[in-house]
Structure 1
């Protein structure tokens, strides 16, 4: 249920953000990077248009990323396999090309700077009141450059990825590691993220309050601490 009233909560000292799709516009930046790859490697010879390539990759990436989070696939395999499968669907059987594109994708993605609407305004407001941190399941070599290129790295004291902690959200140990690094306690911390299962219910099971960022108003039955459709609504809560 969408929160229909807001109040200032003075108990919090630390705010932990998810990055992709919460602050950094993963969908837009992904599409921009893949559109460049489509042109750079003349993929129009196989795919009818860039959107076909992008949508095919997106589907395969979701499938393999889920396996990666479950420990069924290594990072090294994921990096190229998602492209190898995508290319093969349209008749290109080339592991070397998939590996090249896989590396290029991770180089291009952090250069993109599209942010979720309200990101800067919200961070400007929060930074003067709380200590801000990031907990991300993304690869460590791309998450910090994303923040730097988007000029929002200055807001955060700690940026903790699953590779740093050794655990993926929603594992309780991922949250525990991040709080330990930030010298924060559960009762004075709150998690903000867009993924109900990974960010919000993961934090809830760990014992942290949560703000579910649900821009599309996806229906659910979960009991969350707070829920917002727009990032700027967080200013009414914190």
Structure 2
């Protein structure tokens, strides 16, 4: 059993364990080919950049409860197509459905994800997921990447009926895991949702800053590689 004051570790999934950007690019590449989108966008880079722009804006709206899950799923493609001169809602919905099916099949994780999680599990920590992602997608990601066996509780924003950084999802997670604020720590890549949310809920944080972005925040800990968690805990 570990001797740390922390007993429960809550991990974000996308961009913390599951390499969202790399896996998304693989998926978008397949969609670009399957739907022959070069005739609309000219290049994959233009398609990808505009999708990422609209996807980011819509996810921010979702975090603020200004858009429904069902609308987010297709509107990110509808707005991307529309910007390139193709106003086709049916095509957007087709592509959106394929994206939801293909994306969670991708299996790229961040370096040392498995090694770090195995170390923590062997040390006796209770590991959990807190994600703003959708149930039908996140569970598939965890299963296909063979990450799911490390975790005791998987908390999604859908189950909690609240998105990070809301204290409601952290309260729900603590109750589900049988954890307390003082014996828990949150590991995540997003300063606004993971770190600020945990801090607001009086939970310590480990900021996973894989790209070494400059910032003025002061998380409890900061790492650039997941294996560094083993030096903290």
SS of the aligned residue for 1:91 comes to: coil
2:135 matched residue in structure 1: 140
- Partner Cα separation in structure 2 for residue 64 and residue 201 of structure 1: 20
Displacement over 4 Å in runs of 4+: none
State the Cα RMSD in Å. Answer: 1.1
Question: Unpaired runs of 5+ in structure 2?
Answer: none
1:184 matched residue in structure 2: 179
1:9–1:237 CA contact under 8 A, matched in 2: no
CA deviation map 1:32-74 (0-9, x unaligned): 0111111111101111121211111001100111111111111
SS of the aligned residue for 2:53 comes to: helix
1:151 matched residue in structure 2: 146
1:25 matched residue in structure 2: 19
- Partner Cα separation in structure 2 for residue 224 and residue 61 of structure 1: 27
SS of the aligned residue for 2:152 comes to: strand
Question: Unpaired runs of 5+ in structure 1?
Answer: 1-7
Q: 1:86 aligns with which of 67, 80, 84?
A: 80
For residue 186 of structure 1, report the CA deviation from its aligned partner.
0.9
Q: TM-score, normalised by structure 1?
A: 0.95
Residues 51-200 of structure 1 mapped to structure 2, 5 A cutoff: 51-129=45-123, 130-200=125-195
- Partner Cα separation in structure 2 for residue 123 and residue 78 of structure 1: 31
- Partner Cα separation in structure 2 for residue 64 and residue 11 of structure 1: 38
SS of the aligned residue for 1:217 comes to: coil
For residue 223 of structure 1, report the CA deviation from its aligned partner.
2.0
Residue 210 (structure 1) aligned with residue 222 (structure 2): no
For residue 215 of structure 1, report the CA deviation from its aligned partner.
1.5
CA deviation map 1:159-213 (0-9, x unaligned): 1110000000000111010110011111111000000111011101101111000
1:10 matched residue in structure 2: 4
1:4 matched residue in structure 2: none
- Partner Cα separation in structure 2 for residue 32 and residue 217 of structure 1: 24
